[in-house]
Structure 1
Amino acid sequence: MAGESRFPDVDSNGSEKNEDIEIIVNVGGVRQVLYGENLNRYPATRLAQLINCLSGGYDTIFSLCDDYDPGKREFYFDRDPDAFKCIIDIYYFGEIHMKKGICPICFKNEMEFWKVDLKFLDDCCKTHLSEKKEELEEIARRVQLILDDLGVDASENRWKRCQKYIWKLMEKPESSYSARVIAVLSFLFILISSVVMCLGTIPELQIVDSEGNHVEHPTLDNIETACIGWFTLEYVLRLISSPNKLYFVISFMNIIDVFAILPFYVSLILTHLGAGMMELTNVQQAVQALRIMRIARIFKLARHSTGLQTLTYALKRSFKELGLLLMYLAVGIFVFSALGYTMEQSHPETLFKSIPQSFWWAIITMTTVGYGDIYPKTTLGKLNAATSFLCGVIAIALPIHPIINNFVRYYNKQRVLETAAKHELELMELYSGEGKVGGSKNELEDLMGEGKEHPSWSRQLKVSYSDTFIHLLSDEKHYRTRLQSCK
């Protein structure tokens, strides 16, 4: 019968004909009949090894499956049946596709259990697997950073401990109440400095010096000096306490910090020393040029704003879409400016003097700005203008949706990763408090580093195997059962 297994045939030499063997497997309650002709296509897999395991006795059988019924000759596996339905396709189609909704990491573990090589996984599914691996690596990195902050190395001298304390105080607002206060103060100083810079340009708030020049009000100048003093102190403390000073100096946000405070000191030096070195007019021009660079401090807000950081990342991930936008606009600007110049030549009062000059008209038209300084006067020119701004609207609207999707995807991903890291830490504390063992004895010590002393709770802390299951926190091999879920 098709649904029952039969004893294997024996050839003239007494060896089994594996192609005629029929086995029954029960994976998570789902029974399936498999044939040796198909299984032997990949002899290194676990299912193919079941064909010859009966002759090896029960030890061999139970090394391959969870249970075995000799009456029904049925092999039992406590595995995910949905994943098994995907994996079994390799024996019929030579490749594997993951079903939607299956965790890629769990599916990878299932493939390893059934001894199926990852090279048979389709490329589209490998992409999902690599994305999930990156997420788990990010979660593990965040958990490790938090655990590192909680650890105290007794071998460190007082300066090292003080340096670490200052670093957490200046860089990690979530580490303590004092760190949060400093982060709020830094945010307020950035806002105050930006407002003062704007107010200093209002003529009514300026005063006239002895030489008849309009300069900033002394009160605003004093507030600016206080803000620069705070920015300088903050940068110096962060530089001194940085564990990697080279990386700190070349970091983009730290370069912004330098550009925010450097113009103040350079202009101060030029003001006091420039009169003897060059004409006062040139010094004043240099000072004004440097003072304009103070606008760079507004970018310091990105250090305290998750939204601005997310926007920056979304734009970095959207270079392809932005490139397409610029390409569409460049082609449209060249075409419509040339057409506009040609069509307007018949009018005696034309404003289109040359094609390069028409580029400006095409730019402000396609971007729907329309200053009105250059405009067509002929009928054909007006039709060309109408066509150009319609094409401009379409060209700008096309890449907007992918850019928004990149922003939303990254923002949601960061929230999920943050929640997952907190969830993992909570489970670690829970396992520690209940005295449960979630991992090997020295896993956390290996993670934190050798020779360190940890707080009392962290010394008892065990790595948990939660639904997120961070493999990087454990060197052991663990496989999920079908009863375990994955978030």
Structure 2
Amino acid sequence: MDVACRQFAAGKSLHICLPILKDNTASNQEYNLSGDETTDLSMLLSSYHHPHLQGSHGTYSHNRRKIVGAESMASDLQPELPFGHNCSTEGCEWVRINVSGLYFETRLVVLNRHPNSVLGDPEKRDKYYDSNRMEYFFDRHRPSFEAIFTWYQNGGKLRRPQNIPDEIFLTEVGFFELDKEIVEDYKKDEGYAEEEIILPENEILKTIWMLFEYPETSRLAFIIGILSCLFTMTSIVLFCVETLPHYSNDTCSGPDDPPSFVDPFFVIETMCTAWFTIEFIIRLISSPNKLKFWKDVKNLVDLTAVVPYYVTLINVIITMTCESSKTSSSLAFLRVIRLVRVFKLTKHSAGLQVLVLTFKASMGGLGLFVIALFVCTLVFSSTIYYMELGIPGSEINSIPDGFWWAVITMSTVGYGDKVPKGTWGKIVGCVCALSGLLTLAIPVPIILENFIKFYAHKTGRGRVG
């Protein structure tokens, strides 16, 4: 768009740029205005008709563009367009963009802030210029472009309107070639779990790494993934079954007798642990980035799942009694840690991955819920204690004793092992129960929104497997 710059002098220099029209109504002229003659400038600007400012979005009508005060206009334009300003090089001219009949207008300098995008690159932008209408025409999705145009104007993070599907919006973002960093931040905020895949340079290590890390890459990798799931499930079932009274003492005939290493439970547990150990070592050796491998939570879970077995085995070998491993509280804790093996299944299940990502993204809401629960528990446990103080047969004998009652009441579980006896105590109990319902509702919308978002992105809107 050609631009004619007019210079006005009204006590100080003012430089105004107007587009050159076909009838040459905006010619390059100089006006000397002073005193009351500023009204002439007002009349000139109000009578000027700019055909490129006729749009249905973000534009003003001819009457609304009229300038009421020339002096205020001069003061407004002076900082932006000083004397000696060149519109053709500094991009102050207006640009009209037509997106499927919806018009947008802005200054060229706004688009030039992002030179790698379609609208910011002159060569890419000129491909869509309509010389007859003197506008840039794009036959694209109009609601999506509103968000894209807002990003051009204000910068910051890219936000998708809620009524626009992700696929359509990302298609439009890709068409206009927005900055890569902006798109990556948008995908991260929207829950797209896209990780950069780094493979070993050695072909043998690369093959091994793909077999054990990516079950979907080949049939053999899929079989290895199935075996890993079977060993994990077997280990979890064994952990539960061996606590049954019928099987709990089979490994020892007496408290001081040596353990039996041919016991079926011990043999099965040894086989499962051997598989987990071999799998962990192979993945560690073939890993392309050892530091990143140790930082990965899944790998730490795998390591934690096998350590208790070896600690317990060493203790049994040293003492040669299996009873010590059952009575020792520290060893019993290690046996409980074996349950982390269930998290190994997350690598093979998109549904479990969605749950993990959901709770991870909902930590802010869950933190708010924990704080609210703690405050309410403290308030109601203290209140119920003093309301029940001196009541015959009261079951709440201290404030810490009221913690249990408050949590059980607020969570609507209501075991009934501790109940208020007095009238005021029962009133406090009713308020506590109602407050619990409101407190429990805090994280629900956040978790639900994150679950829907991660489910759609992780599973491709398919069924969770």
TM over 0.5: yes
Matches within 5 A, 1:309-388: 309-388=353-432
Q: Which runs of 5+ in 2 are unaligned?
A: 1-20, 32-40, 68-72, 82-86, 97-106, 108-122
Q: CA–CA distance in 1 between the matches of 2:51 and 2:431?
A: 70
Deviations along 1:325-353, one digit per CA (max 9) or x if unpaired, are: 11222222122112211111131222221
Alpha carbons of structure 1 residues 181 and 8: separation in structure 2 relative to 1, 3 Å: same
Q: Which has the higher contact order (CA 8 A, sep 6+)?
A: 1
2:50 aligned with 1:22, yes or no?
yes
More helix by share: 1
Q: CA–CA distance in 2 between the matches of 1:46 and 1:111?
A: 23
Q: CA deviation at 1:287?
A: 3.8
Q: Which amino acid aligns with 1:412?
A: A
Q: CA deviation at 1:79?
A: 2.5
Deviations along 1:154-191, one digit per CA (max 9) or x if unpaired, are: xx6xxx21111000000011110000000011001100
Q: CA deviation at 1:266?
A: 1.1
2:240 aligned with 1:198, yes or no?
yes
2:221 aligned with 1:179, yes or no?
yes
Q: CA deviation at 1:359?
A: 1.4
**Partner SS state of residue 138, structure 2:** coil
**Partner SS state of residue 415, structure 2:** coil
Alpha carbons of structure 1 residues 251 and 67: separation in structure 2 relative to 1, 3 Å: closer
Q: CA deviation at 1:233?
A: 0.8
Q: CA deviation at 1:357?
A: 1.7
Q: CA deviation at 1:110?
A: 5.9
Q: CA–CA distance in 1 between the matches of 2:190 and 2:365?
A: 28
Q: In the alignment, which residue of structure 2 is the partner of 1:407?
A: 451
Asked whether the 8 Å contact 2:394–2:421 carries over to 1, the reply is yes
Deviations along 1:238-291, one digit per CA (max 9) or x if unpaired, are: 111000112112311111111110111111111112469xx9858951543322
Q: CA–CA distance in 2 between the matches of 1:188 and 1:267?
A: 23
Q: CA–CA distance in 1 between the matches of 2:266 and 2:288?
A: 35
Q: CA–CA distance in 1 between the matches of 2:327 and 2:460?
A: 52
Q: CA deviation at 1:131?
A: 5.0
Q: CA deviation at 1:84?
A: 12
| Residue 261 (structure 1) aligned to one of 299, 306, 311 | 306
2:442 aligned with 1:394, yes or no?
no
Q: CA–CA distance in 1 between the matches of 2:154 and 2:283?
A: 53
Query: Which sits farther off after the overlay, 256-265 or 17-26?
Result: 17-26
Q: In the alignment, which residue of structure 2 is the partner of 1:443?
A: none
Q: CA–CA distance in 1 between the matches of 2:206 and 2:186?
A: 32
| Residue 75 (structure 1) aligned to one of 127, 131, 134 | 134
Q: In the alignment, which residue of structure 1 is the partner of 2:254?
A: 211
Alpha carbons of structure 1 residues 401 and 80: separation in structure 2 relative to 1, 3 Å: same
Asked whether the 8 Å contact 2:325–2:332 carries over to 1, the reply is no
Asked whether the 8 Å contact 2:350–2:459 carries over to 1, the reply is no
Normalised by the length of structure 2, the TM-score is 0.65
Q: CA–CA distance in 2 between the matches of 1:12 and 1:267?
A: 95
**Partner SS state of residue 10, structure 1:** coil
CA RMSD of the aligned region, Å?
4.8
Alpha carbons of structure 1 residues 302 and 270: separation in structure 2 relative to 1, 3 Å: same
Q: CA–CA distance in 2 between the matches of 1:385 and 1:137?
A: 41
Normalised by the length of structure 1, the TM-score is 0.62
Aligned-residue sequence identity (percent) comes to 29
Matches within 5 A, 1:274-293: 274=319, 281=324, 285=328, 286-293=330-337
Q: CA–CA distance in 2 between the matches of 1:261 and 1:95?
A: 53
Alpha carbons of structure 1 residues 107 and 188: separation in structure 2 relative to 1, 3 Å: closer
2:27 aligned with 1:10, yes or no?
yes
Q: In the alignment, which residue of structure 1 is the partner of 2:18?
A: none
Q: Which runs of 5+ in 1 are unaligned?
A: 52-59, 113-117, 119-126, 419-487
| Residue 242 (structure 1) aligned to one of 276, 287, 297 | 287
Asked whether the 8 Å contact 1:83–1:98 carries over to 2, the reply is no
Q: CA–CA distance in 2 between the matches of 1:137 and 1:165?
A: 30
Size of the alignment, in residue pairs?
A: 369
Alpha carbons of structure 1 residues 9 and 162: separation in structure 2 relative to 1, 3 Å: closer
